[in-house]
Structure 1
Amino acid sequence: MQRCVLFVGGGLETLPGLELAKAMGLAVAVSDGNPAAPGLALADHPLVASTYDPAATVTAARALAGRRPIDGVLCLAVDVPHTVAAVAEALGLPGIGAQAARLAMDKLAMKARLAARGLPVPFFAPVPDVPALLAIVARRGRDLVLKPVDSRGARGVQRLARLDDLGAAFAEALRHSPTGRVMVEQFLGGPQLSTESLVVEGVAVTPGFSDRNYEYLDRFAPFIIENGGELPTRLPPDTVAAVADLVDRAARALGIGRGVVKGDIVIHQGEPFVIELAARLSGGYFCSHEIPRSTGVDLLGAAIRQCLGEAVPAAELAPRLARGVAQRWLFADPGVVTAVEGLAAARAVPGVFHLELRAGPGDVVAPINCHPARLGVVMAEADTREGAVAAAEAAVATIAVKTRPLGPAGAPHG
């Protein structure tokens, strides 16, 4: 019988993982609370259970395990390590454990643990209410970031220096927290990195370093929206080594002795600081598309094998290439999409290997206030980083998503 891997989450960005697992000769189970999730249609064993409901997912996984063995469990492009840990514990599978998963999902607890272990993190504090927020701003100024303690995808994340109504900002952050908790942290200027590592025998090995692009901070203020990323990183080797060491120490501090860790790191005044560390495979096609094309490392395949209990040699994660890969997200003015132009020309730009538009005529484009609201993505590769950036930006420039404004009550004009 084929070995079976369970992916918790079946969204669009999970599909490359499902396809790779099938190509590896594995049976694929997928759990998702949305019966129309694309991953369920691709799965050999679809399970309808919310990714954010560990008990429901465990129940569904146990039912499947009663019919055929499940050999491994992981998540890709959805931040649910607590659900993955619950399934792993219930079925006796390799995993990171409930405590590490809890720390990885709770930004406040994560920061507290990292700070207690002496790791560099921005100033942070819980914000129980608006008066507490006003008091923190009075002491530390407005160059702060307000965020939900336990949400993802930049939902509710706002830079206070870019807005006036702190009460409204608090309400926005609060409504995105499942547990009703809000925190604040210092905004640290400097280059930001996405990293992706596999923890092998207790050591985080990091083949993935992507420079994050934030050219639209003014356009989407006060929300902090990433516009893309670029590999290889432009940072010097000693800084890259310092980042890799910090990610390793952060994973150890959170008790993650195996599995994937995805880091959000800022280089502030020449020193790396941890913004967040997630215990999951990344979204945005970082692990499935960018890292292998840039470095030659099959991080996604290695993570799948590791979750099945296989040993992954650290040497297998050493980059063998340094090709340029660039990603740029697509945006449009809010309103109803009336036309989409230039897709064929964009796909024809030399170097473009992935173009995805998530809206078409008749769809409503909401104001951009978080990463899931982005309209689509273009990815390109070249021998150099600069060539990849030029190709991705040339493709974006050919695409026009035309909209007409909504009426006062949210209905289309016309």
Structure 2
Amino acid sequence: MTGTRRIAIIGGTPAALRKARAAGFEVVWVHHPRELPVGGLAEVSEALLTDYREPAAVAELLRAVHARRPVERVVSMIEDGLETAATATDALGLPGTGTAVVGLLQDKLAFRSLLNARSVDPTAARIGHGEEDLRTFVETYGPTVVKPRYGSGSIGVRVVHGPDEVPEVASWAAGFGLHTFLMEEYLRGPEISVEAFSYAGRHVVLAHTAKETLDSLVEIAHVQPAALTPELTAAVDDLVVRMLDAVGLRDGPSHTEVKLTPDGPRLVESHNRRGGDRIADLAGEVYGIDIDALAWLWYAGRTEPVAPGEPRCGAAVRFLTAEPGVVEAVTGADAVRADPHVVDLQISVGPGDTVHPIAWSYDRSGLVIVRGADADDARERAAKLADAVVIRTTPHEGPPPARSIAAVAPRPDRLLGPSEVSG
């Protein structure tokens, strides 16, 4: 195996490892020992069992591995592994996405500042530290989104619709642990996301995903293809390409959230990975594109740039919800799984588990993925099938316990930034 090409993968699943092997790579896998999907060990030549969320430590481990038998790239397909992969890429002098790009994408203030400076997107954003800062921003820019400066999954995100809501949201932020937060101009309009792949600086859009969100901004459904006019498609794609050029992303997948405002498309945020929430599965159903497999083939130099053809069907993800409380029973799952349109059903709660009010993505209770004749058919089927899974709960006695950022995020510094973590 001396001449075998080697790649280091940070985190991820056995399925991703198999696709990397199929592309011709021998895999060095870095994963947390307490989170390890043990089935992945059969797919790798080496496994480094350590906390992959420690970028500097992992880079040093990979430096020793690389010195013994070089790796060609260090890659992660998951949010928590992107900084680590970038740090190791820089430390080993390898091709790929380094910390300059990942830092811009993960630091929402830096992202907004760059897009403003490059005239890509004018959305206003500032750092706030309490009620006075929030009130000033709302009075200047109108409805406002409050969020951690770093992070994903809608953790710690609130909308302030007007000055009357400032005291309550500022009090919530302090109680939640957001002593420093990002304030962004609220963008009105439906939200979509854009899956793209960059081939040595050439950016190709693979799919547009329509979304449904709750008032909390948590996403509750995804549908492909999105119903965009040719003119709107062109405007969205042009905006995403200009953003990717501005941040310097040149290779691999990206996932970008866009609001379709009355003034045209505007950017929410972007990530140098494929979309979560099973969005990549929708692209596979609708366009026949396996984004993970495409990435490994591209890194191995075994594919030319791939672009989507016409959609061959519609597909949708619908998330399961339940009334807050303690789960008593879950029914209807067998019938839903038996439906021929169902691609997958996942239920993340069972009897005795607690269902919280949906404040962020992790509060959802599962999902169903459905294939349909077209997008409308898939959307309607997914909604009906999600409703057919009944999660019966018993309400809590009294108000639900308050939750802090430390309680929902094992690494609060990844959301706030190390200098922003308080007590």
Q: Same fold (TM over 0.5)?
A: yes
Distance in 2, matches of 1:62 and 1:408, equals 54
Specify the alignment match of 1:243 in structure 2.
Answer: 236
In 2 relative to 1, CA 59–338 (structure 1 residues): closer, same or farther, beyond 3 Å? farther
Q: Does 1:389 align with 2:391?
A: no
Contact 1:265 / 1:273 at 8 angstroms: preserved in 2?
yes
In 2 relative to 1, CA 266–126 (structure 1 residues): closer, same or farther, beyond 3 Å? same
Out of 341, 348, 353, which is 2:343 matched to?
A: 353
Q: Does 1:304 align with 2:305?
A: no
State the Cα distance separating 1:8 from its structure 2 match.
Answer: 1.9
Q: Does 1:321 align with 2:311?
A: yes
The amino acid that maps onto 1:160 is: V
Distance in 1, matches of 2:75 and 2:101, equals 14
Specify the alignment match of 1:277 in structure 2.
Answer: 270
State the Cα distance separating 1:224 from its structure 2 match.
Answer: 1.5
Specify the alignment match of 2:287 in structure 1.
Answer: 295
Contact 1:157 / 1:173 at 8 angstroms: preserved in 2?
no
Out of 154, 168, 171, which is 2:171 matched to?
A: 168
After the TM superposition, which residues 178-327 of structure 1 pair with which residues of structure 2 at under 5 Å, given as runs? Answer: 181-214=180-213, 216-217=214-215, 223-269=216-262, 271-287=264-280, 289-308=281-300, 310=301, 312-314=303-305, 316-327=306-317
Specify the alignment match of 2:35 in structure 1.
Answer: 37
Contact 1:342 / 1:398 at 8 angstroms: preserved in 2?
yes
After the TM superposition, which residues 84-233 of structure 1 pair with which residues of structure 2 at under 5 Å, given as runs? Answer: 84-141=85-142, 143-161=143-161, 163=165, 165-171=168-174, 174-175=177-178, 181-214=180-213, 216-217=214-215, 223-233=216-226
State the Cα distance separating 1:320 from its structure 2 match.
Answer: 4.7
State the Cα distance separating 1:401 from its structure 2 match.
Answer: 1.3
Distance in 1, matches of 2:398 and 2:47, equals 41
State the Cα distance separating 1:87 from its structure 2 match.
Answer: 1.5
Distance in 2, matches of 1:359 and 1:343, equals 12
Deviation per residue, 1:89-129 (Å, 9 max, x gap)? 23343212221111011000001001110012422222133
Contact 1:158 / 1:169 at 8 angstroms: preserved in 2?
no
Contact 1:156 / 1:174 at 8 angstroms: preserved in 2?
no
> SS at 1:227's partner residue?
strand
The amino acid that maps onto 1:299 is: I
Deviation per residue, 1:165-198 (Å, 9 max, x gap)? 03223326654xxxx6411112111121111111
Specify the alignment match of 1:220 in structure 2.
Answer: none
Specify the alignment match of 2:78 in structure 1.
Answer: 77
Aligned residues: 393
Residue ranges of structure 1 left out of the alignment (5+ in a row):
218-222
Specify the alignment match of 1:6 in structure 2.
Answer: 8
Most deviating of 296-305 and 43-52: 43-52
Distance in 2, matches of 1:307 and 1:158, equals 39
Distance in 2, matches of 1:323 and 1:72, equals 35
In 2 relative to 1, CA 302–266 (structure 1 residues): closer, same or farther, beyond 3 Å? same
In 2 relative to 1, CA 392–203 (structure 1 residues): closer, same or farther, beyond 3 Å? same
> SS at 2:219's partner residue?
coil
Contact 1:77 / 1:284 at 8 angstroms: preserved in 2?
no
The amino acid that maps onto 1:42 is: G
State the Cα distance separating 1:344 from its structure 2 match.
Answer: 0.7
Contact 2:8 / 2:75 at 8 angstroms: preserved in 1?
yes
In 2 relative to 1, CA 206–145 (structure 1 residues): closer, same or farther, beyond 3 Å? same
> SS at 1:165's partner residue?
helix
Contact 2:212 / 2:222 at 8 angstroms: preserved in 1?
yes
> SS at 1:125's partner residue?
strand
Contact 2:202 / 2:250 at 8 angstroms: preserved in 1?
yes
Q: Does 1:376 align with 2:369?
A: no
Aligned-pair identity (%)? 28
Contact 1:356 / 1:378 at 8 angstroms: preserved in 2?
yes
In 2 relative to 1, CA 201–156 (structure 1 residues): closer, same or farther, beyond 3 Å? same
The amino acid that maps onto 1:303 is: A
State the Cα distance separating 1:352 from its structure 2 match.
Answer: 0.7
Distance in 1, matches of 2:233 and 2:67, equals 46
Most deviating of 65-74 and 297-306: 65-74
Contact 1:228 / 1:328 at 8 angstroms: preserved in 2?
yes
Distance in 2, matches of 1:40 and 1:238, equals 48
Deviation per residue, 1:299-341 (Å, 9 max, x gap)? 2211122344x26422x22335342011111112222222111
Distance in 1, matches of 2:202 and 2:50, equals 33
In 2 relative to 1, CA 40–90 (structure 1 residues): closer, same or farther, beyond 3 Å? farther
The amino acid that maps onto 2:30 is: S
State the Cα distance separating 1:151 from its structure 2 match.
Answer: 1.4
State the Cα distance separating 1:40 from its structure 2 match.
Answer: 5.2
